[in-house]
Amino acid sequence: MSLVNSRLTPSSILPHPLTNRLPIFLFSNPNSNKFDFINCLQKPVSAILTKDQNFETSPTFDFKSYMLEKANSVNKALDDSIPLTEPLKIHESMRYSLLAGGKRIRPLLCIAACELVGGEESTAMPAACAVEMVHTMSLMHDDLPCMDNDDLRRGKPTNHKIFSEDVAVLAGDAMLALSFEHVATSTKGVPSERIIRVIYELAKCIGCEGLVAGQVVDISSEGMTQVGLEHLEFIHSNKTAALLEGSVVLGALLGGGSDEEVEKLRKFARCIGLLFQVVDDILDVTKSSKELGKTAGKDLVADKTTYPKLIGIEKSREFAERLNREAQDQLLGFHHNKAAPLIALANYIAYRDN
């Protein structure tokens, strides 16, 4: 059964591809509700999928150079997007988190999707910056004491630890507003009706049908003993995958992609969005805080339901493999060389170590 039929909603949730509606005890110890953390740590997961699974990309495509080149372009554009003006404190707070590093996966997905359908990097850059602003805002708010109460992000103290909680909240709010302003004022050479559609897609993936929906259900689920796979999939398809989906769709729209191309890329993005979270769940219990650049094991401490907790490490790996394959199936109709960056990005998400 396909993972990419339609956006998940509370009343219409896709069946999980590993369970096939079978009881969860087929995948875990039915006599215990506890996650076998010690056994999990003993499993080698430096790569989430085994390296001998070759998802082929163009032999002439240098992904490392591509990542470095695009990330440098994105970082420069982000630096330019928030100058140090009055009031200084709010701008310093915004810049502190926005320019703190990170893999820049969302902006890269936006640019790669735009270029895949014939667009230019410069056309997608304002939207690429916007999705990174939204992502950074979500991290700033997620780290607050009222949410996940975290002290470390991207190897540095979290924003509220440096600038105080009230400023961190306001800086996140300002960044969210700026994301829409930046798309509307800085996107060049694109028809206004297309920019309106881009703004609509960005808003939808953030709000009560996207990131916020996943976040609030995630918070409400802490400590629950009966969280199933469908419930977990709803959380992550919204909390994590929705913005990744938005990143790709924005790029495809700005590049002038056809409706059919946009929908194929939407399905690709839904798969890699869920893949991103499955990998995150595995890394959270198998890597140190130093390796991750953020607090390790916090999901276990918060008693959150994760894929490893629910189905175990090996089934989580199998799920990640299937998501990666199904994502890349969506790219088969595109020119192979132009699809190479998205293929490589999917593999990067699957194989990452932090």
Determine contact, residues 134/242, Cβ cutoff 8 Å: no
pLDDT value at residue 97: 95
**Are the C-beta atoms of residues 128 and 267 closer than 8 Å to each other?**
no
Q: How many domains does the chain have?
A: 1
Domain-located, residue 276: yes
Task: Tell whether 25 is covered by a domain.
Answer: no
What is the bridge-based pairing of β-strands 156-157 and 152-153? antiparallel
For the chain, the C-alpha Rg in angstroms (whole number) is 20
Q: pTM of the prediction? A: 0.79
Q: Does any domain span residue 47? A: no
pLDDT mean values, one per 10 residues, the chain (354 residues): 42 36 32 34 34 49 92 97 96 96 92 97 98 96 89 90 95 97 97 96 94 89 79 89 96 97 96 92 71 52 74 89 95 93 94 79
Query: Residue 39 domain-assigned?
Result: no
Only one residue has tokens 């805080």, namely 289
87 preceded by a cis bond (ω within 30 of 0): yes
| Residue 79, domain extent | 61-351
How far from 126 is each of 57, 193, 202, 296, CA to CA, in Å?
28, 16, 12, 33
Q: What pLDDT, on a 0 to 100 scale, did the predictor assign at position 167?
A: 96
**8 lies in a domain?**
no
For residues 311 and 229, give the distance between their C-alpha atoms in angstroms, rounded to a whole number: 9
pLDDT of residue 34: 35
Neighbours of 303 (CB within 10 A): 13
How far apart, in whole angstroms, are the C-alpha atoms of residue 336 and residue 344?
12
On whether residue 212 sits in a domain, the answer given is: yes
- Residue 351 is predicted with a pLDDT of 87
Is 56 inside a domain boundary? no
State residue 55's pLDDT score. Answer: 43
CA distance linking residue 341 with residue 107, whole number of Å? 13
CB contact set of 9 (below 8 Å; sequence gap of 6+): 209, 234
- Using DSSP's 3-state secondary structure scheme, residue 9 falls into strand
CATH number of domain containing 87: 1.10.600.10
Q: Is residue 79 part of a domain?
A: yes
Round to whole Å and give the CA distance between 173 and 165.
12
In sequence order, which ranges of 82-228 are alpha helices (DSSP H)?
88-98, 105-116, 121-142, 159-163, 165-186, 192-206, 211-221
pLDDT at 287: 57
